[in-house]
Amino acid sequence: MRHPVTKSLRVLVTGGAGFIGTNVVSELVARGHTTTVLDSLRPDVHTDGGEAARARLHEIAARSPAPDRAVNLAVGDARDLGVVTRLCGDVDVVVHLAAKVGLGLDIDDIDDYVSSNDLGTATVLRAAARAGITRFVQASSMVVYGEGHYTCDDHGVVPPAPRTRDWLEQGRFDPPCPVCAEPLTAGLVSEHALLDPRNTYAVTKVAQEQLASVWSRETGASAVSLRLHNVYGPNMPKNTPYAGVAAIFASALDRGEAPRVFEDGGQRRDFVHVTDIGAAFAVATEADTSGHRAFNVGSGVVHTVGDLAQALSGARGGPEPVVTGQFRLGDVRHVTASSERIADELGWRATVSLEDGVRALTFD
Ligand code: UD1
């Protein structure tokens, strides 16, 4: 059920200068809300010092009926209790996106992930409670489910055994049944599935959700965690270690090189367009759920990484993708979930198809 809003909300968007954040701000502003963006413009993400992000926020404000009030940018860190408390004092809802994303480079990143994501969330929640905020919406991720939902022909639904280096080197990419070692079939994960984080980033996302849940119980306010599938779209991070596969393939094509598809290209993902993600956050901001509620957010259509490479190569006029058989030991084979709960409860559905989305995949 959808809950239409009747008034304009004042929304604090942490991480609002980022790839997803600017799209959330844009959608909120288009719906008549005003935003305060808190962003640290971290140099490993904003390699130009934040110039492009500032320009984007400026454009969003200029398009709104109240350009001087639509977007206010505060440069600062979500872990700074004083700053966040001050900003929370002037808003109705907090949308928390400020986080270190990606799957992590190596174990040297572990403390920065925990600090950025979990200390950041705890600080924002404390400030929001102090300010009497009654609604908190945050970005979580499909990685909270780990390997996801798998079925064996003989043994039914089973937790997949880890993909060993030996198996992968033999080109056996689908995770095996823990009982008979036969390949498993991937299914759609629902929000009822157990959380099973398998890397540092995933652990911090689970902790973020649990912190929001505790906050909601203790304050009586409502919290929403949106578990995002693979987000892509214009201006997605490109030349950083945290770039997603769509940006990696598009950059290769723009250099005249073939996209290099790992494994056999059969890895299943749900690629969801960033403008749809902006709308999902806006809908969650306006909704009136209670307690802590988590929602999977995807396009609802499963594609393989090979499909994505083909679609991008077609849209950019080649070259054809190359399937390399290479693998990354930390990669999950398939990540596919059902996004029906958010459709049923908040009335949100994705609208951009992969074909249309890749056609318009541009970078600054
Ligand atoms: C992505 C996000 C993660 C998010 C998750 C949600 C990034 C970097 N990671 O993880 O933050 O929480 O979705 O579902 O955005 N691949 C190739 N060729 C390449 C690079 C990658 O074939 O050059 C393959 C990988 O082996 C993998 C797939 O593409 O199977 C996706 O990789 P990636 O874009 O890094 O994302 P996820 O691991 O799905």
SS (H, E, C) the chain: CCCCCCCCCEEEEECCCCHHHHHHHHHHHHCCCEEEEEECCCCCCCCCCCHHHHHHHHHHHHHCCCHHHHEEEEECCCCCHHHHHHHHCCCCEEEECCCCCCCCCCHHHHHHHHHHHHHHHHHHHHHHHHCCCCEEEEEEEHHHHCCCEEEECCCEEECCCCCCHHHHHCCCCCCECCCCCCECEEECECCCCCCCCCCHHHHHHHHHHHHHHHHHHHHCCEEEEEEECEEECCCCCCCCCCCCHHHHHHHHHHCCCCCEECCCCCCEECEEEHHHHHHHHHHHHHCCCCCEEEEEECCCCCEEHHHHHHHHHHHCCCCCCEECCCCCCCCCCCCCECCHHHHHHHCCCCCCCHHHHHHCCCCC
Q: Return the pLDDT at 363.
A: 79
Q: Return the pLDDT at 2.
A: 45
Cβ of 229 less than 6 Å from ligand 1: yes
* Per-residue tens of pLDDT for the chain, all 364 residues: 444 555 899 999 999 999 999 999 999 999 999 999 999 999 888 889 999 999 999 999 999 988 889 999 999 999 999 999 999 999 999 999 999 987 666 788 899 999 999 999 999 999 999 999 999 999 999 999 988 889 999 999 998 888 889 999 999 999 889 999 888 888 999 999 989 888 899 999 999 999 999 999 999 999 999 999 999 999 898 877 678 999 999 999 999 999 999 999 999 999 999 999 999 999 999 999 999 999 999 999 999 999 999 999 999 998 999 999 999 987 889 988 999 999 999 999 999 999 999 998 987 7
Cβ of 305 less than 6 Å from ligand 1: yes
Pocket test for ligand 1, best of 199, 230, 264, 303 (most atoms within 8 A of CB): 230
pTM of the model: 0.95
Residue nearest ligand 1's atom 30 by CA: 267
Asked if residues 159 and 194 have their Cβ atoms less than 8 Å apart, the reply is no
